Every structure is written in structure tokens, then in C-alpha cells.
């Protein structure tokens, strides 16, 4: 044991010396536009606890833990990584923020950092360093990572997002008379109708599915120009644009496989892999599951899977929502510098690229540089997920993220509205009015 300690110590001191040396060199070279540096000094004897969402694809967890181990070997900082179901991380993070105790780093979802910004360690230095080194952050990264989305003070580092795309069966699409996947919402409706007529329908989650339901319902609402709030956070959901989206949803719903009103997050994956649906909206996890399965039947499905970006609606630009993962360091942590160093380490090319590769791009990068990661081109089926963070619209669009946007989504206001209108239990107008009333409650605060 002491041997290892000594070896580690030697390695560390060597590393520090080298770091100091390059630091000097870089300081001189800075004027010449050399790579940026960041000199965080992890606290002595630091130990970190990290809470993250439980992987959807095995490769993600394997590499994340391997990278963490590498970090421990390099720095001597012990890191314990706990994983929880992704929907359980948000309440745990909220409790940690509330009582001021818990894991040093929490990797949560969506706009969590904006719910308790004053409980989070300022990570501007790491963000600026990474941004400068890796081609800059996407707009959506800045929206999620900085206080009020203003791009100045960073309260969280986006780890990336679980991109969503339309997952379809290529042979079924061709059998339905389409040679290429439609690029707009009208085309999608026609394809869905044709698939239904061929007896190979598609389906999208309309139950209280936190991920899949919210993702595609927000895309649909935004594609037609509907939105929950304007830029000043006034509720404007009850609009002609929303009604148009709801009318479209109603037509689209006619083409769904029965039972989608009860679908939670896993249902569409199961139904797709069983060959019961031919089109749905999902992350790359369906493809991953099929591709890595030993079952020849699933392997054949993997061959047949195609991915397409969410079609563009009347607003004329991409309007997808993706599941962003903010990495937050909490102020109660005794080792904020060690925590920041850990995040920096994990986001560096040496770690981030192999990790993305192991997850076959389940997590799309928040930094522009990683667009060049070969994982996006090695298999053309990966490519649609590459631009998830580049083109997405953030939560609470077009307003500010915060408590109100999180609460509105947690209460399934948009999903319920679309499900009500689609299933015909309410007219589009009634559904929009109800959503407006419910949203006003949260946005009034």
C-alpha cells in the first residue's frame, strides 16, 4: 500500500513539476495564442462523491468509471460515483441543495442549475478554459450553463445531452412508398399515414413519460411556433400557433399504434425492438440495444434502423428539445477545486472522445470541437445525433429557465395538452386554455 502511495506521490509531484513547467511555457506562449491553461489546486486529501444518472447504454457507464479511475490514479483524489435512475436524480439534487449536504457533484437533468443557482459553485473558470480549448460552447450550452442564460457566470457545466431523433425501420418506410425520410412536418404526417395503411404504424409516448413524452411534445409545439412563454416569461401558450400544433397532433394520433396514451419512457423502446412499431422518437439507445444484442433477430432490426432529425415545422428551423445533463458543484462541498478539476478532466479530449465512442454517441457534446469525433461518422446512423445540442431549443423557450419552467414541465402541462387534444378528449382550444391556466400558476411566482 505504502509503495503505491509513494509511487503515486512521485507521479503526482512529477506531474505537478511538469504542469508548472508547461504553465510557464504557456504563459509565455499565451500572447502567441497558445492553448489556454487552467491551474486549479485541488484541496489536500480531497475525496469526491459524484451522483449521476444511471446509464442508458452500458458503454457510457463503463467508460465514465474508467475515466474516473484514471483521474484518481493521476491525482490521488478518490472519487465515488453513484448512479440513480435519471428521474430520481432531480429530487435528490433538490434535497441536497435544500439541506446543504450531499454529493460534491451532481449530474442532473434539464434546468436544475437554474432552480438553485445560489447553491452552486461558480465554474466560470473551467467553462472558459474548456470553451477556449474546444471550439466554444453551443448556444444551448450557454443557456443551460450560465446564470439567466446570459453567458457570463457559469453555474453548471453541461455534460452534453441525450439527443433525440426519429428512429425508423428503413424497409417499412420504403414499403410505404418513401425513398427518403421526410424533412418537414407535413411529410412526417404523410409517412405516418402510409405506415399505418401498410400495417406498420409508428407511435409516440403520450403518457406521463418524463423524457420521451416531453421531448417530442415540445418539439411539436415549437415546430408550429407555439410556446409556453414569451421572452418576458408571460404565458402565451393559448395561441393560434398552438392550436395548429394541436390540430396536427390530432391527425398524427390517428396513425399511432393503440395504447400510446399509457406509454411511459420505456414503452416505445420495447415496442420498437419487438417490431411492433416502425417509427418513434428516441435517443440512440434503441439502436445501441439492437446492435449490441446477441439475438440475430435484433441484429437484423439494427441493420434496418434508420435515424432522421426531427422534421422542421412551419417555423422553418429545427425545434427539438433534448435531455441536457448539467454537472453541478455544490457550495457545501469541502473540495470545490477538486470537483472542478474532476469535471475539467472528464471533459478533456483524452477522456471525452473515448467515452462518447463507448456510448456510440448517446451523449451529444456541448462543445463544438467534439463534432469532429469520428464516432459521428464511423456509422452514418450516428450522424443525426451529432447536432442535438447545436440545433436544440432550451427548456422554457422562449423565456428564461428556472423554477417555473421546471415545474411546468414536471407537471406535464404540454404533454397533457397534446394528449388531450390528440385523443379528442378535449378540443384543441379547450386543451390550450387549460394549459394556459395551469402554466400561469407557475409563471406568476
Partner 1 sequence: MNRLLENRNFLGFAFMLPAAVLLLLFLTYPLGLGTWLGFTDAKVGRAGVWVGLENYIYLYGDAVTRLSLFNTLFYTVVASVIKFALGLWLAILLNQNIPLKSFVRAAVLLPFIVPTALSAIAFWWIYDAQFSIISWALVKLGWIDTYIDFLGQPWAARLSTIAANIWRGVPFVAICLLAGLQTISPSLYEAASIDGAKPSQQFWYVTLPLLTPIIAVVMTFSVLFTFTDFQLIYVLTRGGPLNATHLMATLSFQRAISGGALGEGAAIATAMIPFLLAAILFSYFGLQRRAWQQGGSDK
| Binding stretches for partner 1 (CB under 8 A) | 87, 90-91, 94-95, 97-98, 115-116, 119, 206-210, 257-264, 267, 270-271, 274, 276, 403, 406-407, 410-412, 416, 419-420, 423, 425, 434, 437-438, 441-442, 445
Nearest approach in angstroms of CB 83 to partner 1 is 18
Of 93 and 310, which CB lies nearer to partner 1 in the complex structure?
Answer: 93
Nearer to partner 1, 116 or 352 (CB): 116
Spatial distance between the Cα atoms of 385 and 370, rounded to a whole number of angstroms? 12
**Smallest distance from partner 1 to CB 303, Å:** 22
How far apart are CB 368 and partner 1 at their closest, in Å?
Answer: 31
Compute the least distance from the CB of residue 409 to partner 1, in Å.
8
Q: Are the CB atoms for 107 and 89 separated by under 8 Å?
A: yes
Q: Which is nearer to partner 1, 57 or 206 (CB)?
A: 206
d(CA 217, CA 237): 13
Question: Would you say 307 or 438 has its CB closer to partner 1?
Answer: 438
- CA diameter of the chain: 73
Give just the sign of the alpha carbon dihedral 229, 230, 235, 241: negative
CB of residue 406 to partner 1, shortest distance in Å: 6
Cβ(236)–Cβ(227) under 8 Å? yes
- The Cα 383–Cα 364 span in angstroms is 10
Query: Which residue, 130 or 286, has its beta carbon nearer to partner 1?
Result: 286
Residue 270 CB, nearest distance to partner 1 (Å)? 7
Measured from the CB atom, the residue of 376 and 412 that comes closer to partner 1 is 412
- CA torsion sign for 285, 386, 419, 254 is negative
Q: What is the end-to-end Cα distance of the chain in Å, rounded?
A: 56
Cα distance between residue 335 and residue 233, in whole Å: 36
Nearest to 407 by CA among 372, 438, 386: 438
Q: How far apart are CA 335 and CA 232, in angstroms?
A: 37
Question: Which DSSP string corresponds to 202-265?
Answer: B----SS-TTHHHHHHHHHHHHTT--SB-TT--B--SSHHHHHHHHHHHHHHTTBPTTGGG--H
CB of 33 or CB of 199, closer to partner 1? 199
Closer of 112 and 387 to partner 1 (Cβ): 112
> Which CB sits closer to partner 1, 79 or 105?
105
Which H or E run contains 306? Answer: strand 305-308
User: Could you tell me if 420 and 438 are in contact, meaning their C-beta atoms sit under 8 angstroms apart?
Assistant: no
Q: How far apart are CA 318 and CA 226, in angstroms?
A: 13
Choice between 299 and 331, CB closer to partner 1:
331
Least Cβ distance, residue 345 to partner 1 (angstroms): 27
* Least distance in angstroms from the C-beta of 438 to partner 1: 7
User: Nearer to partner 1 by C-beta: 55 or 426?
Assistant: 426
Cβ 249 to partner 1, closest distance in Å? Answer: 14
CB of 420 to partner 1, least distance (A): 6
Residue 292 CB, nearest distance to partner 1 (Å)?
Answer: 22
What pairing do the DSSP bridges indicate for beta strands 105-107 and 323-329? antiparallel
Q: What gap in Å lies between CA 398 and CA 382, rounded to an integer? A: 29
Sheet order of strands, 105-107 included = 78-84, 47-53, 105-107, 323-329, 157-162, 363-364
Residue with cell 449490441: 292
Q: Which helix (H) or strand (E) holds 68?
A: helix 58-75
Amino acid at each position: 500500500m505504502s509503495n503505491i502511495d509513494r509511487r503515486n506521490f512521485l507521479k503526482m509531484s512529477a506531474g505537478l513539476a511538469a504542469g508548472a513547467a508547461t504553465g510557464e511555457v504557456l504563459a509565455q506562449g499565451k500572447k502567441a495564442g497558445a492553448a489556454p491553461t487552467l491551474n486549479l489546486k485541488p484541496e489536500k486529501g480531497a475525496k469526491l462523491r459524484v451522483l449521476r444518472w444511471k446509464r442508458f447504454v452500458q458503454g457510457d457507464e463503463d467508460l465514465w468509471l474508467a475515466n474516473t479511475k484514471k483521474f484518481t490514479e493521476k491525482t490521488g483524489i478518490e472519487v465515488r460515483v453513484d448512479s440513480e435512475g435519471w428521474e430520481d436524480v432531480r429530487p435528490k439534487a433538490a434535497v441536497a441543495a435544500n439541506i446543504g449536504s450531499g454529493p460534491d457533484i451532481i449530474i442532473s437533468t434539464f434546468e436544475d442549475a437554474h432552480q438553485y443557482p445560489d447553491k452552486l459553485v461558480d465554474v466560470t473558470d473551467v467553462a472558459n478554459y474548456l470553451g477556449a480549448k474546444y471550439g466554444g460552447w453551443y448556444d444551448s450550452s450557454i443557456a443551460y450553463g450560465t446564470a439567466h442564460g446570459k453567458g457570463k457566470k457559469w453555474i453548471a457545466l453541461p455534460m452534453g445531452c441525450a439527443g433525440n431523433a426519429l428512429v425508423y425501420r428503413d424497409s417499412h418506410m420504403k414499403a410505404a412508398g418513401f425513398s427518403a425520410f421526410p424533412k418537414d412536418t407535413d411529410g412526417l404526417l404523410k409517412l405516418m399515414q402510409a405506415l399505418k395503411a401498410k400495417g406498420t404504424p409508428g407511435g409516440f409516448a403520450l403518457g406521463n413519460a418524463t423524457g420521451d413524452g416531453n421531448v417530442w411534445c415540445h418539439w411539436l409545439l415549437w415546430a408550429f411556433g407555439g410556446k409556453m412563454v414569451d421572452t418576458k416569461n408571460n404565458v402565451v401558450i393559448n395561441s393560434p400557433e398552438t392550436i395548429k400544433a394541436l390540430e396536427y397532433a390530432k391527425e398524427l394520433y390517428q396513425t399511432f399504434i393503440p395504447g400510446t396514451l399509457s406509454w411511459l419512457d420505456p414503452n416505445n423502446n420495447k415496442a420498437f425492438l419487438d417490431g411492433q412499431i416502425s417509427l418513434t422518437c428516441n435517443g440512440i439507445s434503441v439502436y445501441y440495444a439492437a446492435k449490441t444484442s446477441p439475438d440475430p433477430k435484433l441484429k437484423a432490426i439494427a441493420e434496418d434502423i434508420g435515424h432522421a432529425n426531427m422534421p422542421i415545422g412551419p417555423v422553418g428551423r429545427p425545434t427539438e428539445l433534448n435531455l441536457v445533463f448539467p454537472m453541478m458543484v455544490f457550495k457545501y462541498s469541502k473540495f470545490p477545486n477538486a470537483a472542478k478539476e474532476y469535471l475539467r478532466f472528464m471533459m478533456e479530449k483524452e477522456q471525452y472522445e473515448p467515452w462518447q465512442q463507448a456510448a456510440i454517441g448517446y451523449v451529444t457534446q456541448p462543445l463544438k470541437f467534439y463534432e469532429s469525433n469520428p464516432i459521428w461518422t464511423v456509422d452514418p446512423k450516428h450522424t443525426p445525433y451529432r447536432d442535438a445540442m447545436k440545433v436544440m431549443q432550451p427548456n422554457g423557450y422562449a423565456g428564461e429557465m428556472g423554477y417555473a419552467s421546471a415545474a411546468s414541465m414536471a407537471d406535464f402541462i404540454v404533454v397533457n395538452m397534446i394528449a388531450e387534444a390528440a385523443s379528442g378528449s378535449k378540443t384543441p382550444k379547450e386543451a390550450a386554455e387549460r394549459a394556459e391556466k395551469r402554466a400561469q400558476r407557475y409563471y406568476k411566482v
